[in-house]
């Protein structure tokens, strides 16, 4: 390997091609060092990529004939350049199990051996008849997961009774009498099931895309109708203004035409000679004002009705809210390790000891929070029953930080979350680290109404009546997730399964 590296280009790491030696004594491929010098032309100073010695002016490149002949001799003897650095295994790569010294990257892993091989050491699996039957897969660091920890045998069998992979010895041991199949057969079956699910999901996506397209067409039609209404209205008001201006001009002309230049033949009369004309014009003005006032009311009501049709108003009764009730469960992968989920992942309790959750990138690590599994879009309503010192009922974007400072990940302390904090005797609303003290009846149940498209988020205190605590009007740019935060050990919060008969007498107040 040392001989190979001596005759390799330090830039491309391959055997020297048209070698040139620059004034400092280092050698490179002609094209490699030319490209390097070309990039340095704008600086006016050229340097050696290895020793950094600088040259002014740019060195003239001439082929090193003796070096070129040595490289050709090396090629004839079968020697090749040392593997490039990118061929060696790094910390994140799967290394060849056979290589000694600095290991090369594996290109395949064998489930039968089990071991991983570079291109050279994999060749026997293609040449030797017994090895050709081995199962080769993409390089994997998890080969040990395919080995039975009890019997040190490859797990080629799947136990359907216990839903786990086992080895052939297990079938005669603790899995004796269980329903078992070859792991490959189970894999094929699972792949078929996944394909069916994939097709179903794809079909649902296509249906949603059709719905979106129809909505886009409806939006375009509404916008077009609005543009035409504005254009037609402007045209008609312009015509009306012109008509009034013309009538004003006509009245002025008629009045002036009746003025007399023969003052000697006219008896002096009071200055109220044309008061009847003024009175007639005043009467016309009053009638026109009444008409415009009455018609404006009709126009305004018509526009309001159109607006209501486009975006239904917030429900007025609890039965109306319950029409939008949403089945929500909590995601165990987001729960802080001191939060216990129960009752079908609907209830959360702050425990003194950590739970046996596995590490997960979605898990909150610094604050006692949890998010829903389901995303919330459209119009949704849900209720939370809580007990303890303090609880936050919140909504947040999925990209909210899971660890770090208060402002990054605590609900209500950033622009990615909105939170109602419930204390024993008071409420606060938090968003972007700004809080508002709220008034309202103390209740152990909070109702949340979300109209994602309209940008409305409302919190209610729910008991015999529903009392609005706070309403947000904003623009939501991503799907939201329901969130809960607990303050003290023993605090609990539960997502209630809302039914239309539950507290149906409660009315918003």
Q: Is residue 331 assigned to a domain?
A: yes
CATH of the domain at 398: 2.60.120.920
- What is the DSSP pairing of strand 369-376 with strand 480-486? antiparallel
Q: Is residue 125 included in any domain, yes or no?
A: no
Q: How confident is residue 312, by pLDDT bands cut at 50, 70 and 90?
A: low
Residue 227 has pLDDT above 70, yes or no: yes
Sign of the alpha-carbon torsion through 234, 236, 240, 245: positive
| Residue numbers of the domain that contains 32 | 19-78
CA dihedral 223, 224, 228, 231 (to 10 degrees): 60
Would residue 369 count as lying in a domain? Answer: yes
Tell me the C-alpha distance between 426 and 330, whole Å.
Answer: 26
* Degrees to nearest 5, angle at CA 325 with 320 and 329: 165
DSSP labels, 381-408? EEEEEEESSEEEEEEEETTS-SSSSHHH
pLDDT > 70 in the chain, percent = 88
Q: What pLDDT, in 10s, does the model give residues 301-311?
A: 565 445 444 55
Backbone dihedral angles phi then psi of residue 289, each to the nearest 5 degrees: -60, -45
Q: Give the span between the Cα atoms of 105 and 139, in whole angstroms.
A: 9
Residue 341 belongs to some domain of the structure = yes
Provide the pLDDT for residue 2: 44
Cα-based torsion angle of the residue sequence 133, 134, 135, 138 in order, rounded to the nearest 10 degrees: -120
Judged by average pLDDT, the poorest of 97-111, 352-366, 474-488 is: 97-111
Strand pairing partners for 446?
384, 461
Which strand (E) or helix (H) includes residue 164?
strand 164-166
- Residue where one domain finishes, among candidates 63, 78, 93: 78
Strands (E), 196-351: 339-342, 347-350
Q: What is the largest CA-CA distance in the chain?
A: 139
In this predicted model, what pLDDT tens digit does every residue of 326-351 receive, in sequence order? 889 999 999 999 999 999 999 999 99
CA separation for the pair 258, 495 (Å, rounded) = 85
**What Cα–Cα distance (Å) separates residue 423 from each residue in 284, 429, 471?**
64, 11, 19
Is residue 257 assigned to a domain? Answer: no
pLDDT digits (tens, 9 = 90+) for 430-484: 999 999 999 999 999 999 999 998 899 999 999 888 999 999 999 999 999 999 9
pLDDT (tens digit per residue) in 379-411: 999 999 999 999 999 999 999 999 988 899 999
Q: What are the tokens at 117?
A: 């091989």
What's the 3-state SS for 207-244? HHHHHHHHHHHHHHHHHHHHHHHHHHHHHHHHHHHHHH
Domain end call among 78, 110, 128: 78
Would the pTM of this model clear 0.85, i.e. be above it? no
Number of domain units in the chain:
2
Please state the separation of Cα 282 from the chain's center in Å.
64
Which residues are CB-contacts of 431 (< 8 A; sequence separation ≥ 6)? 412, 415, 417, 418, 419, 472
**Angstrom distance (rounded) from CA 230 to CA 236:** 10
Distances (CA, A) of 210 to 153, 160, 268, 346, 377: 52, 40, 84, 33, 17
The answer to whether 370 and 346 are in contact (CB under 8 A) is no
Question: What whole-number distance in Å separates Cα of residue 94 and Cα of residue 122?
Answer: 14
C-beta neighbour count of 458 within 10 angstroms: 21
Q: Which two tokens stand for residue 333?
A: 């992968």
Which is higher by pLDDT, 1 or 404?
Answer: 404
Instruction: Give the three-class secondary structure for 507.
Output: coil
Whether residue 223 lies inside any domain: the answer is no
Residue 176 lies in a domain: no
**Rounded CA gap, 12 and 34, in Å?**
13
Find the mean pLDDT for residues 312-318: 80
Could you tell me if residue 38 is inside a domain? yes
């Amino acid at each position: 390997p040392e001989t190979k590296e001596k005759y390799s280009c330090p830039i491309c790491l391959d055997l020297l091609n048209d070698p040139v030696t620059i004034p400092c004594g280092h050698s490179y491929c002609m094209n490699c060092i030319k490209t390097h010098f070309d990039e340095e032309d704008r600086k006016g100073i050229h340097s050696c990529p290895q020793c950094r010695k600088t040259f002014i002016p740019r060195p003239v490149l001439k082929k090193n004939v003796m070096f070129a002949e040595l490289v050709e001799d090396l090629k004839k003897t079968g020697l090749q350049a040392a593997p490039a650095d990118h061929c060696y295994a790094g910390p994140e790569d799967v290394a060849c199990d056979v290589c000694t010294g600095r290991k090369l990257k594996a290109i395949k892993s064998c489930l039968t051996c089990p071991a991983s091989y570079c291109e050279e050491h994999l060749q026997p699996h293609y040449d030797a008849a017994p090895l050709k039957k081995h199962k080769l897969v993409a390089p994997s660091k998890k080969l040990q997961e395919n080995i039975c920890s009890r019997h040190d045998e490859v797990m080629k069998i799947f136990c359907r009774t216990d839903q786990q992979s086992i080895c052939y010895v297990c079938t005669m041991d603790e899995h004796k009498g269980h329903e078992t199949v070859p792991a490959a057969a189970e894999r094929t079956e699972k792949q078929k099931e996944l394909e069916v699910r994939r097709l179903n999901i794809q079909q649902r996506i296509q249906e949603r895309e059709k719905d979106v397209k129809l909505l886009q067409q409806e939006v375009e039609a509404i916008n077009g109708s609005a543009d035409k209404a504005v254009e037609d209205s402007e045209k008609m008001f312009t015509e009306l203004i012109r008509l009034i201006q013309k009538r004003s001009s006509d009245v002025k002309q008629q009045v002036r035409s009746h003025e007399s230049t023969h003052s000697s033949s006219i008896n002096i009369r009071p200055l109220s000679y044309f008061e009847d004309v003024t009175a007639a014009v005043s009467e016309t003005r009053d009638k026109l004002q009444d008409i415009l006032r009455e018609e404006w009311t009709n126009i305004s009501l018509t526009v309001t009705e159109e607006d209501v049709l486009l975006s239904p108003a917030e429900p007025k009764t609890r039965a109306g809210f319950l029409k939008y009730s949403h089945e929500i469960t909590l995601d165990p992968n987001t729960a802080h390790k001191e939060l216990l989920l129960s009752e079908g992942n609907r209830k959360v309790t702050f425990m003194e000891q950590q739970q046996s959750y596995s590490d997960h990138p979605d898990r909150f690590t610094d604050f006692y929070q949890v998010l829903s599994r389901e995303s919330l879009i459209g119009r949704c309503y849900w209720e939370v029953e809580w007990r303890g010192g303090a609880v936050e009922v919140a909504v947040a974007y999925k990209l909210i930080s899971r660890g770090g400072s208060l402002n990054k990940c605590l609900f209500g302390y950033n622009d990615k979350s909105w939170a109602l904090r419930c204390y024993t005797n008071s409420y606060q609303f938090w968003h972007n680290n700004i809080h508002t003290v709220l008034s309202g009846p103390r209740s152990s149940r909070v109702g949340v109404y979300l109209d994602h498209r309209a940008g409305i988020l409302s919190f209610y205190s729910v008991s015999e009546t529903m009392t609005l605590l706070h309403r947000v009007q904003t623009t939501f740019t991503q799907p939201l997730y329901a969130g809960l935060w607990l303050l003290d050990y023993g605090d609990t919060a539960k997502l209630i399964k809302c039914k239309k008969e539950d507290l149906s007498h409660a009315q918003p107040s």
